[in-house]
Amino acid sequence: MMDRYSRLQTLVIYAALAVFLTFILLPFVEMFMVSLRPLEHLFSTPYRFWGDDFSFAVYRQIWETVPLLGRYIFNSIYISGMVTAITMIFVVPAAYAYARLDFPFKNASLAIFLGVNMFTGAVLLIPLYRVLRTLGLLNTYWAMIVPGVAFLIPTGIWLLRSYLEKIPRELEEAAFVDGASRLYTLRRVVLPLAVPGLIVVSVAFFIGAYAQQFLFAITFNQVREYQPLPAGLFEFIGYQDVTWNEMMAASLTGVLPVMVVFLFLQKYFVAGLTAGAVKE
Amino acid sequence: MATLDLQNIQKSFGDAKVLHDIDLAIRDREFVVFVGPSGCGKSTLLRIIAGLEEATSGKIVIDGQDVSRDHPLDRGISMVFQSYALYPHLSVFENIAFPLRVAKMPEPDLKAKVARAAEILQLTDKLKLKPGQLSGGQRQRVAIGRSIVREPRVFLFDEPLSNLDAALRGDMRVELSQLHWQLDATMVYVTHDQVEAMTMADRIVVLNGGKVEQFGTPMELYHHPATKFVAGFIGQPNMNFLPARVCGTDTAGVAVEVANGPTLTLPVDPEGLTPGDAVEVGIHPEDLTLGDGGMTMKIHVLERLGGQSITHGHLGGTRICAALPGTAPIREAEAVELAVAPSACHLFDARGRVARRRDALALVA
């Protein structure tokens, strides 16, 4: 294909991208820089971005300062993973039903789902606390998983429904004429074609769950062993001082496995998109 | 294989009535084409036969058995969709095998059936490919393959060639006709293309506004159209309609005075026509000949196809088209004298109904 943009346009596009990326990525760079230097240098004036005393020492120290750090990282991924899996189990059939079936109050219930989405978790913390207490789920993993799932289902239905609607209806009609049941069609025809959509949605769930868990963790869970990373990071705040460098190091370490997974998924996502595009 | 009877089929979407009292008896092993302009209800009718839509009232009877409430599978029909509806993630083999997998057919039988279908459709070396790797014509054949493995009683085709380019469409027409011979099956085929209808059909159903205008062989439709609509729809280029006035009826037929043209005595039944009535004379472009017949056509556009010269122009204020010999000595922007044999003319009354032609042309049926 020919170049669609002139040299100047390309330049402007890249400049805009650079500004945007700087804005997004600079905090991470700063986190990384902070994690590399000793605590006392952080408060030295004038502040220097570059120093000759950089070291990775804190990346070893963090595991000693907070012995449960590994556990926190695992918890974060475990909770987000569980939330994603359970949400998918609910959302896939629901989204399919909204995309294809006719039933009473279809549009009304969809609107309600959207309405529910407008409440943040924070508004509902107290009622949720009571519900979880009644169910006896406080201070368990479920205290963080169940509300996470509940808050993601509406978004999930909206996201996946619009994706499923784009799958040609004729494919399902063809399967129907050939005697396939709804569930068989869903399994053999619809879901395989929806794989790119399913990945997008589950990535959205995972990120959503990751972001939500802090709030639920500090309100619904007191057990240290079950805390996810964002809550666990509090332990770097000591009585006298905050070990910022270690906290930054721990944050980066905790985010790293997730980032690696997403880098891998992104490739898969692009591959999935092109595989679907060949069909017409 | 099977007969297919449609009895008083009606269909409404809300207040909109899209099919009115459709009554058709399709014979065993017949290739019937539903043709009509878009929105005439032909696809809806096919979907009702398939069981994808339910008729508001009426019955569908296959082989004497009322199947109106049955699942498509129990009706014994299979359908080829306009978009082919192939599963892009499955190989050609799995696409063709899909109905058999649903039916949980044992693997050896399944393989044998798919292999046989692939052989008929010349897809044997394509079985491992995905639909995305095939050309339009090959995809079409896969879709047909999927419909034949189940050995249905009636095949339904919903505009299967409309996504192909013109050259390929011609080839596929021949292939489909051959397939009909090979499978010896009852087939119902929907199209908006009258050429497809004329070339492939044993009989054609012309639909207009949810009603059957005419049901007959291609030659019946061409030589004895029941209505002006059918006459205008069948034949390429389209029939000319010249405004005229009845000036007398007698045993020889009906004498009409064509506006800006000659007075002709057409050998048709005069029933219901009285002198002074406004009528229209229908003439196929290929029935117009060079010669002094009292019609002077002003030529606007001349399309020389080699064998024929398709001549577009005006007769008085009416647009007409004539298919003249390829070597006709005519030019654009000039005038030409045309003639027509009265026996080749069709006569339509003000409501579009035809006056029956007496000279029964030898029908090729």
pLDDT digits (tens, 9 = 90+) for B345-355: 999 998 888 88
Residue B77: closest C-alpha in chain A: A177
**Numbered residues of chain A with Cβ closer than 8 Å to any chain B Cβ:** 168, 170-171, 173-180, 184, 188-189, 192-193, 275-276, 278-279
pLDDT at A270: 61
Q: Which chain A residues are within 8 Å of B103, Cβ to Cβ? A: 179
Element (H, E) at A157: helix A142-165
pLDDT digits (tens, 9 = 90+) for A199-232: 888 888 888 888 788 888 888 888 888 888 888 8
pLDDT at A33: 84
Q: In this structure, are residues B261 and B307 in contact, taking their beta carbons and an 8 Å threshold?
A: no
Band of pLDDT at residue B20, cut at 50, 70 and 90: very high
Domain range B237-348, CATH class: mainly beta
Smallest Cβ–Cβ distance between B85 and the set A174, A180, A192 belongs to A174
- Domain spanning B4-232: CATH superfamily: P-loop containing nucleotide triphosphate hydrolases (3.40.50.300)
Q: How far is A130 from chain B (nearest CA, A)?
A: 48
Half-sphere exposure of A58 (CA within 13 A, CB side): 25
CA distance B212 to B22: 7
Q: Check A179 against B99: CB less than 8 A apart.
A: yes
Q: In this structure, are residues B265 and B281 in contact, taking their beta carbons and an 8 Å threshold?
A: no
Domain ranges of chain B: 4-232, 237-348
Instruction: Count other C-beta atoms under 10 Å from residue B60's C-beta.
Output: 22
Band of pLDDT at residue B98, cut at 50, 70 and 90: very high
pLDDT at A2: 56
Q: In this structure, are residues B166 and B75 in contact, taking their beta carbons and an 8 Å threshold?
A: no
Can you list the domains of chain A with their CATH numbers?
1-55 (no CATH), 65-277 (1.10.3720.10)
What does residue A79 show for φ and ψ, rounded to 5 degrees? -65, -50
CA distance B268 to B359: 8
Q: Which chain B residues are within 8 Å of A170, Cβ to Cβ? A: 81-83, 85
CA distance A184 to A172: 10
Contacts for A136 with CB less than 8 Å, ≥ 6 apart = none
What amino acid occupies position B118? A
Band of pLDDT at residue A277, cut at 50, 70 and 90: very low
Half-sphere exposure of A255 (CA within 13 A, CB side): 13
pLDDT at B122: 87
Peptide linkage before A127 cis (omega within 30 of 0): no
If you average pLDDT over every residue of chain B, what do you get? 90
**Is the pLDDT confidence value at A271 over 70?**
no
pLDDT digits (tens, 9 = 90+) for B322-348: 999 999 899 888 999 999 999 889 999
If you average pLDDT over every residue of chain A, what do you get? 84
pLDDT digits (tens, 9 = 90+) for A4-29: 788 889 999 999 999 999 999 998 88
Given the structure tokens 């980032």, which residue do they identify?
A259
CA distance B53 to B156: 14
pLDDT digits (tens, 9 = 90+) for A19-71: 999 999 998 888 888 888 887 777 766 666 666 677 888 888 888 888 888 89
pLDDT at B364: 41
Q: In this structure, are residues A226 and A139 in contact, taking their beta carbons and an 8 Å threshold?
A: yes
**Is the pLDDT confidence value at A273 over 80?**
no
pLDDT digits (tens, 9 = 90+) for A145-174: 998 898 889 888 988 888 888 888 889 999
Residue B102: closest C-alpha in chain A: A180
Q: In this structure, are residues B142 and B96 in contact, taking their beta carbons and an 8 Å threshold?
A: yes
CA distance A174 to B158: 12
pLDDT at A234: 81
Q: How far is A89 from chain B (nearest CA, A)?
A: 22
Candidates A100, A167, A178: best to mutate against B (most CBs of B within 10 A) is A178
Contacts for A105 with CB less than 8 Å, ≥ 6 apart = none
What does residue B47 show for φ and ψ, rounded to 5 degrees? -65, -30
CA distance B155 to A172: 18
CA distance A163 to B169: 33
Q: Which of A150, A117, A148 is nearest to A219 (CA)?
A: A148
pLDDT digits (tens, 9 = 90+) for A85-141: 999 999 999 999 999 888 899 889 988 888 887 877 778 888 889 999 999 988 999
Q: Check B52 against A177: CB less than 8 A apart.
A: yes
Q: What is the ipTM of this complex?
A: 0.81
pLDDT digits (tens, 9 = 90+) for B270-313: 888 889 889 999 999 999 999 998 899 999 999 999 999 999 99
Q: Check A177 against B98: CB less than 8 A apart.
A: no
Q: Which chain B residues are within 8 Å of A275, Cβ to Cβ? A: 89
